């Protein structure tokens, strides 16, 4: 207890120091507001004439529809607001979205003359704004980056500890989790950091040494609730049985635990687990539809951790990553072996990942439909008769062996990662701590760093801590330092370009969500990383590494908002396959593999808008109705499939993950999906509706379809301007239901005789019409390819720099766009150009 108290005392001082640093940093931020700058030269007549003739009727000072007022617009450009307004005019005129279709239209010559004048003015203003680009607010590691960083530093996965489980919910900005301004720090979070560091260090490095021990379980396999009676009666608790997948509501046989091992393993470590198991009745004659299971697939078993002190051992828990999996044999019981990592107090639990869905419902239905086969049929949730006389599919476990902790040759990974191959050395303790701190801080140590580390270590020694414990307590403080928790910049304030160590950290967190590895660190240490060719070579090396999957996953979660899949799940009764097939994971993986393919092959980013191929597993092939559904096996994983004859899919807009996250789980809305397309594909989010705008259901009596409801809603003049841009983009996606299944008709309403047909036709504000989803994607490619490409560049820059792009950044974005277009819009080219740009390399 004294040890904990002293550690907390040290931490309290450090916490105070962190807060002081943060206050000083935030107080030093300065923001230039140029909105009041006044132009001193009249606008050329071509601009004034065009605006006066075609724009001011709706966008004059008296009306300013859509909060756009062009009457005061003048050239030359002298303020950032003028620059933004110029961009808006160019976009609207180029896409022919303004003037609106019903208004008088300019000739092509008038449009070209206006665009030439405005673009020339933007080019002339470049020198004025290039030095006023934004700066990244010094940001802390996101929760995702925090866990990946610890796993990298300590050489082993840390998700079994659930270190961030009690952290405050992460805030994102436009769905991006790396934006510095949104990654705030509180006193509560700092306390959580200390608790997480203390738990990690003590659990992994402070654990007592222990000789391997063996456990052998052959009976007393109790299972709870409605399973208990049947298992006592039929098996006398001699078998542990798995009846359903864990992704259900009933929780009857989803988790198999060891009743005599509820206390779990004594120390954290590797444990060998052997399970004598058999797949029972995979050849059952019962209707497979009862169980919602593919009996052509072998049964799978997996191991997850459980903790009896953290919740019901029979139910899902907050920390249960899959530790190992295997195929279960049908013919006879066989021993299956797993080597898994368990934390102290965790006990292994067994799950049936591809098992039946909703065990209780399947038992009721089987009893009802096959009662004539039983001697003493029972109605309801009776398992006893089924287990004794029937053919109920399940996994049966007869014996379980556990042995560990398994000794790791040359020491544990954590010991080697922190103290080196020789382990902790009392006479070299400070040097070992300095070496670890250098990796944790992602730079060479300053004298002040060394002094701080040494003072904590010697203080703990003076308080009668053993040398090793003093080192471990110092290690905790290193993991609570601002130099670790923050991507702090040591580049001087008066310098714009990042110095090598700062650049190395920004690059490694952009691509790996983790600290620089040894090679990148050495390039920074030698000062070579600021050389463009060296930087480019490092980017290519890092992209080739599997670790860059952290970039793929993190960026797609941010850009496509895939992390929110499951936040609004559909009703289980309406779409049971969503749960029974665990579709969210497959949905995310399709997008990841597609993006990864483009990245590896430098494929054109236009494939993200439309493509004649994708990557699916058996589950998605079934959801999409692809012919591969009849040939693929679960063991095949994901495979590339051709969509050349399938215009229902192709590109991210045809992916179930995007279609699910842009719906609300219950139904679809052209407005919601239209806004999603504007924000994520075209990079032009609409303004929020004014407070006085009525809800979507206002004044829509008598309408029978969503199109009619929106038409009535848009008769309100305050709604019409925005809905003209939003709704058509959503209509094109109405051929997909809330989880991305294709549909020609809407679900039949209760009490209604017929289901309404889906109408996926529409017209862009520019007048281009589309007849279906495939035609819609083609129109995007033809007229909005550059807009999409630019938007993707901006998203990549925001994700990798930790700040949103501002108007002054657009000049360099233009340069990146030109280079990307010259290389066939290659994704790898785009990522490389983004990461070698001065925007990425600047503070």
Q: What is the pLDDT of residues 195-232, one digit of tens each?
A: 999 999 999 999 999 999 999 999 999 999 889 999 99
Which one is predicted more confidently, 489 or 646? 646
Is residue 724 classed as helix, strand or coil in its secondary structure?
Answer: helix
Structure token pair of residue 461: 């020694």
Name the region of 76 (left: φ>0; alpha: ψ -120 to 50; beta: rest). Answer: beta
Q: What pLDDT was estimated at residue 577?
A: 87
Which one is predicted more confidently, 190 or 707? 190
Cα–Cα dist 783/789, whole Å? 12
DSSP class of residue 169 equals P
Which one is predicted more confidently, 518 or 66? 518
The answer to whether the beta carbons of residues 59 and 69 sit under 8 Å apart is yes
pLDDT digits 0-9 by tens, 781-837: 999 999 999 999 999 999 999 999 987 888 899 999 999 999 999 999 999 999 999
pLDDT digits 0-9 by tens, 456-494: 999 999 999 999 999 999 999 999 999 999 997 788 888
pLDDT band at residue 137, thresholds of 50, 70 and 90? confident
- The answer to whether residue 107 scores a pLDDT higher than 60 is yes
Question: What's the pTM value of the predicted model, to 2 decimals?
Answer: 0.85
Q: Work out whether strand 394-404 and strand 324-327 pair parallel, antiparallel, or are unpaired.
A: unpaired
- The answer to whether residue 349 scores a pLDDT higher than 50 is yes
Q: How far does CA 687 lie from the centroid of its chain?
A: 25
Is residue 74 classed as helix, strand or coil in its secondary structure?
Answer: coil
Cα–Cα dist 478/458, whole Å? 15
- The answer to whether residue 28 scores a pLDDT higher than 50 is no
Cα–Cα dist 136/180, whole Å? 7
Q: What pLDDT was estimated at residue 198?
A: 97
Which one is predicted more confidently, 55 or 145? 145
pLDDT digits 0-9 by tens, 553-612: 999 999 999 999 978 888 888 888 898 889 999 999 999 999 999 999 999 999 999 999
Q: Work out whether strand 334-342 and strand 269-280 pair parallel, antiparallel, or are unpaired.
A: antiparallel
* Mean pLDDT value across the chain: 87
Residue range 632-659: average pLDDT?
94
Residue written as token pair 């949103």:
804
By mean pLDDT, which of 30-39, 153-162, 421-430, 795-804 is the weakest? 30-39
Q: What is the full DSSP assignment across 620-635?
A: HHHHHT-GGGGT--GG
Residue range 110-136: average pLDDT?
73
The answer to whether the beta carbons of residues 242 and 351 sit under 8 Å apart is yes
Residues with Cβ < 8 Å from 758, sequence gap 6 or more?
Answer: 734, 735, 743, 744, 745, 746
Cα–Cα dist 480/8, whole Å? 11
Closest CA to 442 of 515, 498, 500: 515
Q: What pLDDT was estimated at residue 716?
A: 55
CA atoms within 13 A on the CB side of 792: 28
Q: What pLDDT was estimated at residue 709?
A: 61
Name the region of 423 (left: φ>0; alpha: ψ -120 to 50; beta: rest). Answer: left
CATH fold of 213-404 reads Jelly Rolls (2.60.120)
By mean pLDDT, which of 164-168, 396-400, 558-562, 710-714 is the weakest? 710-714
pLDDT digits 0-9 by tens, 157-186: 999 999 999 999 989 999 999 999 899 888
Structure token pair of residue 236: 């006398």
- The answer to whether residue 4 scores a pLDDT higher than 50 is no
The answer to whether the beta carbons of residues 804 and 174 sit under 8 Å apart is yes
Q: What is the longest distance spanned by two Cα atoms in the chain?
A: 99
Residue range 279-304: average pLDDT?
94
pLDDT digits 0-9 by tens, 233-271: 999 999 999 999 998 887 788 999 999 999 999 999 999
By mean pLDDT, which of 59-63, 113-117, 282-286, 381-385 is the weakest? 59-63
Q: E strand or H helix at 280, and its extent?
A: strand 269-280
Residue written as token pair 């589950």:
619
Q: What is the full DSSP assignment across 691-721?
A: TTSPPTTTT-TT--SHHHHHHHHTTSHHHHH
Residue 680 phi/psi, 5-degree rounding, is -95, -25
Cis status of the peptide bond prior to 99, with omega within 30 of 0: yes
pLDDT digits 0-9 by tens, 743-766: 998 887 665 667 788 889 988 877
Q: What pLDDT was estimated at residue 691?
A: 52
pLDDT band at residue 1, thresholds of 50, 70 and 90? very low
The answer to whether the beta carbons of residues 608 and 653 sit under 8 Å apart is no
Q: Map out the domains of the chain as residue ranges.
A: 1-29+137-211+415-488, 45-132, 213-404, 562-783, 784-841
Q: What pLDDT was estimated at residue 770?
A: 92
pLDDT digits 0-9 by tens, 436-456: 999 999 999 999 999 999 999
The answer to whether the beta carbons of residues 248 and 305 sit under 8 Å apart is no
Q: What pLDDT was estimated at residue 720?
A: 57
Cα–Cα dist 437/442, whole Å? 8
């Amino acid at each position: 207890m004294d040890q904990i108290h002293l550690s907390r005392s040290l931490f309290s001082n450090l916490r105070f120091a962190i807060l002081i640093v943060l206050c000083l940093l935030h107080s030093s931020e300065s923001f230039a507001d140029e909105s009041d700058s006044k132009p001193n030269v009249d606008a050329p007549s071509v601009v004034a004439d065009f605006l006066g003739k075609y724009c001011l009727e709706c966008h004059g000072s008296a009306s300013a529809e859509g909060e756009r007022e062009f009457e005061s617009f003048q050239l030359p450009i002298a303020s950032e607001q003028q620059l933004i307004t110029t961009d808006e005019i160019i976009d609207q005129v180029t896409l022919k979205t303004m003037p609106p279709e019903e208004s008088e239209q300019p000739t092509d010559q008038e449009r070209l003359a206006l665009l030439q004048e405005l673009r020339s003015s933007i080019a002339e203003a470049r020198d004025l704004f290039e030095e006023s680009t934004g700066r990244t607010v010094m940001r802390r590691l996101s929760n995702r980056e925090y866990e990946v960083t610890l796993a990298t530093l300590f050489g082993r996965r840390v998700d079994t500890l659930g270190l961030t489980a009690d952290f405050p919910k992460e805030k994102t900005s436009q769905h991006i989790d790396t934006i510095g301004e949104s990654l705030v720090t509180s006193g509560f979070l700092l306390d959580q950091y200390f608790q997480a560091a203390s738990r990690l260090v003590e659990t992994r490095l402070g654990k007592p040494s222990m000789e391997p021990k063996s456990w052998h379980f052959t009976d007393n396999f109790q299972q709870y609730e409605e399973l208990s009676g049947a298992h006592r009666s039929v098996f006398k608790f001699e078998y542990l049985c798995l009846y359903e997948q864990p992704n259900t509501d009933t929780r009857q046989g989803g988790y198999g635990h060891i009743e005599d091992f509820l206390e779990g393993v004594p120390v954290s470590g590797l444990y060998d687990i052997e399970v004598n198991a058999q797949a029972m009745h995979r050849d059952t004659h019962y209707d497979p539809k009862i169980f919602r299971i593919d009996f052509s697939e072998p049964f799978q078993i997996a191991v997850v951790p459980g903790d009896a002190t953290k919740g019901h051992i029979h139910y899902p828990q907050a920390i249960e990553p899959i530790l190992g999996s295997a195929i279960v044999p049908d013919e006879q019981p066989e021993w299956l072996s797993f080597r898994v990592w368990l934390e102290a107090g965790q006990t292994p639990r067994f799950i049936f990942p591809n098992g039946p869905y909703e065990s209780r419902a399947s038992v009721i239905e089987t009893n009802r439909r096959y009662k004539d086969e039983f001697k003493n049929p029972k109605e309801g949730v009776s398992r006893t008769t089924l287990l004794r006389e029937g053919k109920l599919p399940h996994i049966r476990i007869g014996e379980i062996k556990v042995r560990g902790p398994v000794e790791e040759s040359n020491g544990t990974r954590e010991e080697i990662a922190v103290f080196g191959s020789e382990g902790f050395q009392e006479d070299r303790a400070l040097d070992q701590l300095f070496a670890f701190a250098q990796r944790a801080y992602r730079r060479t140590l300053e004298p002040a760093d060394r002094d701080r580390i040494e003072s904590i270590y010697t203080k703990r020694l003076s308080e009668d801590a053993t040398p090793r414990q003093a080192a471990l307590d110092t290690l905790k403080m290193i993991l609570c330092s601002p130099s670790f928790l923050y991507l702090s910049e040591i580049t001087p304030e008066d310098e714009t370009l990042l110095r090598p160590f700062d650049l190395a950290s920004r690059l490694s967190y952009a691509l790996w969500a983790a600290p620089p590895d040894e090679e990148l660190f050495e390039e920074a240490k030698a000062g070579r990383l600021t050389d463009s060719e060296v930087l480019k070579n490092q980017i290519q090396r890092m992209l080739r590494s599997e670790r860059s999957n952290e970039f793929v996953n993190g960026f797609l979660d941010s850009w496509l908002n895939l992390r929110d899949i499951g936040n609004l799940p559909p009703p289980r009764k309406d779409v049971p396959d969503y749960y029974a097939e665990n579709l969210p994971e497959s949905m995310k993986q399709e997008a990841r593999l597609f993006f990864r393919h483009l990245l590896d092959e430098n494929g054109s980013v236009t494939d993200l808008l439309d493509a004649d191929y994708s990557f699916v597993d058996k589950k998605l092939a079934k959801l999409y109705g692809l012919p591969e559904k009849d040939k693929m096996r679960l063991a095949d994983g994901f495979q590339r499939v051709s969509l050349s004859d399938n215009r229902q899919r192709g590109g991210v807009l045809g992916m179930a993950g995007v279609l699910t996250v842009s719906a609300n789980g219950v139904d679809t809305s052209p407005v919601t999906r239209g806004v999603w397309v504007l924000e994520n594909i075209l990079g032009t989010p609409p303004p929020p509706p004014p407070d006085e705008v009525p809800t979507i259901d206002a004044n829509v009596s008598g309408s029978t379809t969503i199109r009619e409801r929106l038409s009535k809603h848009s008769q309100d003049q305050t709604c019409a301007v925005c809905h003209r841009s939003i709704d058509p983009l959503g209509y094109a996606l109405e051929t997909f239901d809330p989880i991305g299944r294709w549909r020609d008709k809407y679900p039949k309403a209760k009490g209604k005789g017929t289901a309404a047909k889906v109408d996926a036709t529409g017209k862009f504000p520019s007048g281009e019409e589309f007849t279906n989803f495939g035609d819609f994607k083609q129109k995007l490619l033809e007229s909005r390819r550059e807009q999409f490409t630019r938007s993707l560049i901006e998203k990549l820059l925001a994700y990798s720099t930790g700040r949103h792009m501002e108007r002054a950044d657009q000049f360099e974005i233009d340069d990146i766009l030109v280079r990307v277009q010259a290389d066939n819009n290659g994704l790898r080219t785009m990522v490389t150009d983004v990461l070698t740009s001065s925007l990425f390399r600047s503070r």
